[in-house]
Amino acid sequence: MEGLKTYISENKQRFLNELFELLRIQSISSIESHKPDMYRAAEKWTKILLDAGADKAEVFETEGNPIVFGEKIIDEKLPTVMVYAHMDVMPVDPIDLWNSDPFEPLVKDGKIFGRGADDDKGQSFMHAKAFEFMVRTNQLPCNVKFLIEGEEEVGSVHLPKFCEEHKDMLQSDVILVSDTSMIAPGIPSITTGLRGLAYWEVEVTGPNRDLHSGIFGGAVANPINVLCNMISQMTDEKGKITIPGFYDDVIEVTEEERKKMAQAPFDEEGYKTALNVKELKGEDGYTTNERTGIRPSFDVCGIWGGYTGEGAKTVLPSKAYAKISSRLVPNQDHEKIADLFKLHFESIAPASVNVNVKSLHGGQGYVCPIDLPAYQAAEKAYEKVFNRKPVPVRSGGSIPIISTFEEILGVKSILMGFGLESDAIHSPNENFPLEQFYTGIEAIPYFYKYYVESNI
Amino acid sequence: MEGLKTYISENKQRFLNELFELLRIQSISSIESHKPDMYRAAEKWTKILLDAGADKAEVFETEGNPIVFGEKIIDEKLPTVMVYAHMDVMPVDPIDLWNSDPFEPLVKDGKIFGRGADDDKGQSFMHAKAFEFMVRTNQLPCNVKFLIEGEEEVGSVHLPKFCEEHKDMLQSDVILVSDTSMIAPGIPSITTGLRGLAYWEVEVTGPNRDLHSGIFGGAVANPINVLCNMISQMTDEKGKITIPGFYDDVIEVTEEERKKMAQAPFDEEGYKTALNVKELKGEDGYTTNERTGIRPSFDVCGIWGGYTGEGAKTVLPSKAYAKISSRLVPNQDHEKIADLFKLHFESIAPASVNVNVKSLHGGQGYVCPIDLPAYQAAEKAYEKVFNRKPVPVRSGGSIPIISTFEEILGVKSILMGFGLESDAIHSPNENFPLEQFYTGIEAIPYFYKYYVESNI
């Protein structure tokens, strides 16, 4: 990969300007009113791919948000790498905690700030620029496809059907994804496992209208009190999830593998300090990294009901709501878990309320074996730019589509992430260090090189 | 009270028009931006009193919302009745459940709809019109004072100090209040007991920012889950409140008195049907009326935290909040209870979160003996217009200032309410039946008559 460092160095400011154009598009997939922005993002991506050297790039309609597909086929006999990424971003609430406009990116303290700076606009854009370099310097060693979707943050709802319908078009030997983080700055890692996800919205209805808490309080079940009671019953004092059958398909990781995982550097005091918590809390008998990597979780992502405005309103509300999610481990089926929760949650509802459970989305977990040639190519690429072999880690996050790719297309994915935990993805002040951005662009072409070499 | 029925009948439409002018003022005391409306309501009330025949009526400043005081003194040797009422109203959330604009009153199906139609603009306005009748027909049998405050819905914060500072001005023999309900249409009742109130806002803080629920979920305490657990611990499976010392000052009502109270007509099936609940729920060992009348309660009035927008956002939030209230029974001190809750709630907080408890407001309970001459005058006044002796009842609601009047001014209050439970006070579509409104105006002058007669 000759001239790579020079190419990046000479085009630094242009790369940044182009990325900023992408970051300015408010492509929030979970909010219906941002639909036009999804189309703007899709149009932008076709331009990015064509400008970088793709033979073609086009926008595909789905029943939801559009999907962009582009490719450059140099020789049908050569292997094909498919880059998967997403152009949608998370909402920006709570907006008042941002120090700058989430959709007016800026560089401060060596970091790009803005919604999507890391997840996944910043990370996916590195692939466009690495591809541009290989094309322009005639060093592209294989065929490349780009699949950029617009619903990753809402569970990739329409992508499985798209994959079913375009199996030929999406045919590839490996899928390359940058949507994960490294352990720490200078300590590269490759995510070899992802948690699955089940996500529900629950509605608890008590009386048919908001009541005066004095006149009725004490005699009529309060749906907020009931919802709190029900949620508190979902986990026990040992941090175990109490849904019957929930752990049935969880494969206990061997002591040997747990020992290997424990070698990854981890500073628990630093972790607590960074989050400003006095004590960590999770399932008894597991370390922090195990709790997020190899064990499922149960989190209320949102709750609301009754009077939430200024001052004191004495009301016994009619309804209470919660958004609840479970991160699942490989081999737990998200649809089965979704059903188990619904069944259990409804079964523990007292007769004084009505409970409605809606499954919002889900995805399966994923495991990538570390003896895969593509994994080893990624390993060498990281080592080339960081001078350090990456650690294989299990991530707590979910990219539901990764396991779907394996099911439908029969292709493994390599999760070659360059994010950092301090990037505050999904949070106010999301950011992406410039160093990660440029080093990522440098590492990616080596993946292509080593991967193609391993195939010859 | 000669010509009373005729007077009301001839002025029906004017009374309604005048009330509507008052109802249009958006005097929500819990929302700071409505402060100018509080002054508009105060000015309106001085005009109402002067027009009705008061010698004087003026607006008094407090550190909070203004207070209106007006009076007509006909003979210092005659007894003095002081009407207490409030011009402030509750917020209108959830606004989308209203069938009409809460601040554009209208009559439909024989009821006045609008925020404050009953509580307390509709009920207090009856006193103004009853007073007007007595003055204009030269039948006012005693001195009258009006004390109209603007902070009842937020705990009458500044009224106690006002009472302390204006003891002479407020000197009276009995306080007359219409801010409660009758058992049912045609079944009059007088509220002889009120519950006290303690109201808190709690804030639970976990990590210092919203986290990705995949990367951190399972390892970091989720403040919503924790808040739910803490709330669920506040009551036990028997419906008892678990705060240590909470019941220490609760006086158990005798079996004999409970038997008398049980004679009040109560249709439990109808009550459930009206609220559309399959089962009622409360403290074991007590009936529905006892649960609201003679027992304390613990209700979450509002809860919020995390992502509450459209769709699914996978977040482990930094903070969760709840507004919580307890209705107290006479002899429970609200300040003592406020402290007991704070102490207990903070003590059960796990080390993984920070908990902050703020006491928003409170008030003591109240009991009115039924052998009081003023009570008996009210009893006769109801009997005169409803042809039925009113039932003495203990209400679940709170009017914190009533017990404060007794403490500071040494005067008992008669709770001569004309509301109905179906009036949806504090709720969307608050209303007040025209029949209750006009019958109230008719009953009030008889109270004056019988009360003065009993004093001679």
Domain stops at, among B308, B336, B363 = B363
In a domain, A66, yes or no: yes
Question: How does residue B398 score in pLDDT terms, banded at 50, 70 and 90?
Answer: confident
Cβ distance of A277 and B206 shorter than 8 Å: yes
In a domain, B302, yes or no: yes
With residues binned 3-state (H G I as helix, E B as strand, rest as coil), the percentages for chain B, rounded to 5, are 35, 25, 40
pLDDT(A257) > 80? no
Q: What is the pLDDT of residue B348?
A: 98
> Chain A closest CA to B153's CA: distance in Å?
8
Interface of B with A in 233-252 (CB under 8 A): 233, 235
A-interface mutation test, from B28, B266, B298, B323, most A Cβ less than 10 A away: B323
pLDDT(A362) > 80? yes
Residues A99 and A37 in one domain: yes
pLDDT(B411) > 80? yes
CB contacts, 8 Å: A181 with chain B: 215
CB contacts, 8 Å: B183 with chain A: none
> Chain A closest CA to B157's CA: distance in Å?
12
CB contacts, 8 Å: A317 with chain B: 301-302
Interval A152-203: pLDDT, tens: 999 899 999 999 999 999 999 999 999 999 988 999 999 988 899 999 999 9
Q: What is the pLDDT of residue A61?
A: 97
Cβ distance of A181 and B224 shorter than 8 Å: no
Question: How does residue A350 score in pLDDT terms, banded at 50, 70 and 90?
Answer: very high
Residues A338 and A428 in one domain: no
Residues A136 and A202 in one domain: no
Question: How does residue B251 score in pLDDT terms, banded at 50, 70 and 90?
Answer: confident
Any A CB within 8 A of B425 CB? yes
CA distance A224 to A316: 9
Domain stops at, among B363, B378, B395 = B363
Cβ distance of B313 and A320 shorter than 8 Å: no
Q: What is the pLDDT of residue A227?
A: 98
Q: Would you put residue A42 in left (φ > 0), alpha (ψ -120 to 50) or beta?
A: alpha
In a domain, A263, yes or no: no
Q: In degrees rounded to 5, what are phi and psi of residue A102?
A: -60, -20
Q: What is the pLDDT of residue A122?
A: 98
Is the ipTM, as predicted for this complex, more than 0.90? no
In a domain, B275, yes or no: no
Question: How does residue B286 score in pLDDT terms, banded at 50, 70 and 90?
Answer: very high
Cβ distance of A299 and B217 shorter than 8 Å: yes
Domain stops at, among A335, A361, A387 = A361
CA distance B412 to B369: 9
Cβ distance of A277 and B313 shorter than 8 Å: no
pLDDT(B86) > 80? yes
Residues B9 and B145 in one domain: yes
Percent of chain B surpassing pLDDT 70: 100
Residues A302 and A222 in one domain: yes
Mean pLDDT of A239-262: 90
B-interface mutation test, from A313, A394, A415, most B Cβ less than 10 A away: A313
Average pLDDT along chain B:
95
Whether residue A126 contacts residue A178, with contact meaning beta carbons closer than 8 Å, is answered with yes
Mean pLDDT of A410-430: 95
Q: Which residue of A has its CA nearest to B397?
A: A214
Cβ distance of B297 and A209 shorter than 8 Å: no
Dihedral sign (CA A438, A126, A19, A24): negative
pLDDT(B334) > 90? yes
pLDDT(B392) > 90? no
Residues B18 and B167 in one domain: yes
In a domain, A103, yes or no: yes
CB contacts, 8 Å: B281 with chain A: 219-221, 350, 352
Out of B93, B289, B311, the one facing A309 most closely (by C-beta) is B93
By CB atoms closer than 10 A (0-12, 13-18, 19+), residue B225 is buried
CA distance B293 to A78: 82
Q: Which residue of A has its CA nearest to B279?
A: A352
**What is the CB-side half-sphere exposure of residue B287 using CA atoms within 13 A?**
16
Interval B91-103: pLDDT, tens: 999 999 999 999 9
Out of A221, A280, A300, the one facing B352 most closely (by C-beta) is A280
Number of domains in chain B: 2
Residues B39 and B153 in one domain: yes
Percent of chain B surpassing pLDDT 90: 86
Whether residue B106 contacts residue B100, with contact meaning beta carbons closer than 8 Å, is answered with yes
Mean pLDDT of A22-36: 97
A-interface mutation test, from B227, B236, B266, B277, most A Cβ less than 10 A away: B277
Residues A37 and A121 in one domain: yes
CB contacts, 8 Å: B211 with chain A: 275, 426-427
Q: Which residue of B has its CA nearest to A424?
A: B211
CATH code of residue A163? 3.40.630.10
Interface of A with B in 91-110 (CB under 8 A): 91, 93-94, 97
pLDDT(A258) > 90? no
Q: What is the pLDDT of residue B139?
A: 98
Q: What is the pLDDT of residue B330?
A: 85
Cβ distance of B225 and A398 shorter than 8 Å: no
Question: How does residue B298 score in pLDDT terms, banded at 50, 70 and 90?
Answer: very high
CATH code of residue B314? 3.30.70.360
Is residue A219 within a helix (H) or strand (E), and if so which, with residue range?
none
Q: What is the pLDDT of residue B37?
A: 98
CB contacts, 8 Å: A276 with chain B: 207-208
Interval B144-183: pLDDT, tens: 999 999 999 998 999 999 999 999 999 999 999 999 999 8
In a domain, B54, yes or no: yes
CB contacts, 8 Å: A268 with chain B: none
In a domain, B229, yes or no: yes
Residues B151 and B66 in one domain: yes
pLDDT(A261) > 90? no
pLDDT(A260) > 90? no
Out of B225, B281, B351, the one facing A352 most closely (by C-beta) is B281
Any B CB within 8 A of A313 CB? yes
Q: Which residues does A331 contact at the CB level (< 8 Å), separation at least 6?
A: A249, A250, A251, A365
Q: What is the pLDDT of residue B297?
A: 97
Angle at B190 between CA B186 and CA B195, to 5 degrees: 125
Cβ distance of B217 and A304 shorter than 8 Å: no
Any B CB within 8 A of A222 CB? yes
Lowest mean pLDDT among A75-89, A173-187, A386-400, B36-50: A386-400
Any A CB within 8 A of B139 CB? no
Interface of A with B in 253-312 (CB under 8 A): 275-283, 288-289, 291-292, 295-312
> Chain A closest CA to B20's CA: distance in Å?
23
Interval B335-376: pLDDT, tens: 999 999 999 999 999 999 999 999 998 888 988 888 899 999
pLDDT(A369) > 90? no
pLDDT(A400) > 80? no
> Chain A closest CA to B376's CA: distance in Å?
24
Out of A213, A215, A426, the one facing B421 most closely (by C-beta) is A215
Residues B167 and B96 in one domain: yes
Residue identified by tokens 């492509």 is: A27
Interface of A with B in 320-379 (CB under 8 A): 320-323, 325, 327, 350-353, 360-361
Question: How does residue B265 score in pLDDT terms, banded at 50, 70 and 90?
Answer: confident
Q: Which residue of A has its CA nearest to B97?
A: A209
CB contacts, 8 Å: A218 with chain B: 282-283, 291-292, 295-297, 299, 327, 396
Q: What is the pLDDT of residue A439?
A: 98
Q: Which residue of B has its CA nearest to A274?
A: B208
Cβ distance of B155 and A225 shorter than 8 Å: no
Residues A312 and A377 in one domain: no
What range does the domain containing A352 cover?
A: 196-250+296-361
Any B CB within 8 A of A203 CB? no
Residues B352 and B381 in one domain: no
In a domain, A449, yes or no: yes
